[in-house]
């Protein structure tokens, strides 16, 4: 087994053909770390039942062990086998799974007393986040593995999530056993995280399934205030600063200062300085396209920082509803004060 920490081994690049998926499945079954694309972002996968593998996931990401991981399954039945079926919102969870899986929705529920998921994967909590992701390659991969796979986003903790295989390698090359290249992720922002551990559903993280779509099925949903200083330590994505590029980020910009890159949308224009770099998330003002491109755009601007002498990223006003809620959330955290 390679040493944890040390970038001591080669990360295999696997194509998403039959052989690549079989190889990725085998590595996972043997306790290896394999990044793979889902419909949302690339995940850093490992056996959720293996304490050693789970520890390697936390180490590779530099993630605090207090931040629990989502477990990925091939089917809803496999996922619900790990859940306490006496939970008050169990039936609601089943209906949501039926409506939205496979797809970008994660459900947090009380874990079954005999769940096989190792305690380290859930940071010792009595709850478990479950998800059945969508995408030909990831669905085939999870079927081949036949085991629950813990998979946080495949970035170093606090940084921008990866929506392409090359993004994973930028941060984790040599730290993980393989990356299964499934191309750019269709949705581009993470799954919606819905907390069903109590008697009322709570939106913990906006994501690929909109709040409007969820409310259509379960009625009004409370929205957790992540940015509040009082937010629960076990709430998803709790850190105010997250999804952070190297450059500072400024939101709702309608006036530019010299040296700023302009991350814009539709036909938004700004007064002030000429943008040092102009990146449009969707010329047509389409929020799905903007979500699909967001993380790649932040990485692209970061990479160009030296060449264009960039001082900051100014972000144009973006929509607030539908997928716009997830975009706003990610950008708000990208703009939040960074830890010293
Ligand atoms: O789209 C996604 O969800 C991607 C792909 C790879 O599936 N995964 C992902 O994982 O975004 P991660 O670890 O980057 O974000 C998962 C969030 C974290 O903020 C974590 O705190 C929260 O879900 N979470 C996981 N288990 C939880 C639990 N039992 N209770 C509360 N929050 C939980
Ligand atoms: Mg993440």
Q: Reduce the DSSP state of residue 217 to 3 states and report it.
A: helix
* pLDDT per residue as tens digits for the range 213-264: 999 999 999 999 764 444 444 444 556 778 889 999 999 999 999 999 999 9
Closest ligand 1 atom to Cα of 153: 14
* pLDDT per residue as tens digits for the range 283-332: 999 999 999 999 999 999 999 999 999 999 999 999 999 999 999 999 99
C-alpha to C-alpha distance for 19 and 30, rounded to whole angstroms: 17
* pLDDT per residue as tens digits for the range 103-148: 999 999 999 999 999 999 999 999 999 999 999 999 999 999 999 9
* Residues within 5 Å of ion ligand 2, judged at the Cβ atom: 153
Q: Reduce the DSSP state of residue 109 to 3 states and report it.
A: strand
Residues with CB under 6 A from ligand 1: 38, 40-41, 43, 67-70, 104, 106, 108, 122, 125, 127-129, 131, 133, 151-153, 190-191, 193, 234, 236-237
Q: Which pTM does this prediction carry?
A: 0.95
Rg (CA), the chain: 20
Two structure tokens written together for 204: 């913990």
Q: Does residue 113 contact residue 127 with C-beta atoms inside 8 Å?
A: no
Q: Does residue 200 contact residue 39 with C-beta atoms inside 8 Å?
A: no
Q: Whose CA is nearest to atom 18 of ligand 1?
A: 236
Q: Whose CA is nearest to atom 20 of ligand 1?
A: 236
The CA 277 to ligand 1 mean position distance, Å, reads 33
The CA 68 to ligand 1 mean position distance, Å, reads 7
Nearest ligand atom owner, CA of 191: 1
């Amino acid at each position: 087994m390679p040493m944890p920490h040390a970038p001591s081994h080669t990360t295999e690049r696997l194509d998403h053909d039959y052989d690549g998926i079989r190889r990725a499945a085998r590595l996972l079954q043997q306790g290896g770390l394999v990044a793979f694309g889902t419909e949302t972002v690339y995940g850093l996968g490992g056996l959720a039942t293996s304490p050693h593998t789970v520890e390697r996931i936390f180490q590779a990401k530099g993630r605090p062990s207090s931040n629990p991981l989502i477990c990925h399954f091939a089917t809803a039945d496999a996922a619900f086998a790990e859940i306490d079926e006496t939970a008050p919102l169990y039936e609601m969870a089943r209906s949501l799974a039926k409506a939205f899986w496979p797809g970008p929705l994660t459900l947090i529920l009380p874990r079954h007393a005999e769940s096989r998921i190792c305690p380290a994967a859930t940071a010792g909590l009595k709850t478990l986040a479950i998800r059945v992701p969508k995408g030909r390659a990831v669905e085939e991969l999870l079927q081949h593995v036949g085991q629950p796979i813990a998979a946080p986003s495949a970035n170093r903790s606090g940084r921008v999530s990866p929506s392409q295989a090359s993004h994973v390698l930028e941060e984790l090359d040599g730290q993980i056993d393989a990356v299964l290249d499934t191309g750019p992720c269709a949705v581009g922002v993470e799954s919606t995280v819905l907390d069903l551990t109590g008697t009322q559903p709570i939106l913990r993280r906006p994501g690929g399934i909109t709040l409007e779509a969820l409310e259509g099925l379960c009625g009004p949903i409370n929205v957790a205030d992540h940015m509040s200083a009082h937010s629960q330590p076990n709430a998803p994505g709790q850190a105010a600063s997250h999804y952070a590029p190297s450059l500072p980020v400024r939101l709702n910009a309608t006036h530019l200062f010299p040296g700023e890159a302009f991350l814009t949308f539709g036909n938004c224009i700004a007064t002030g300085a000429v943008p040092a770099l102009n990146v449009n998330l969707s010329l047509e003002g389409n929020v799905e396209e903007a979500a699909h491109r967001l993380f790649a755009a932040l990485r692209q601007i970061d990479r160009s920082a030296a060449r264009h002498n960039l001082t900051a990223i100014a972000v144009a006003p973006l929509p607030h509803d539908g997928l716009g809620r997830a975009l706003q959330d990610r950008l708000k955290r990208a703009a939040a004060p960074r830890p010293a």
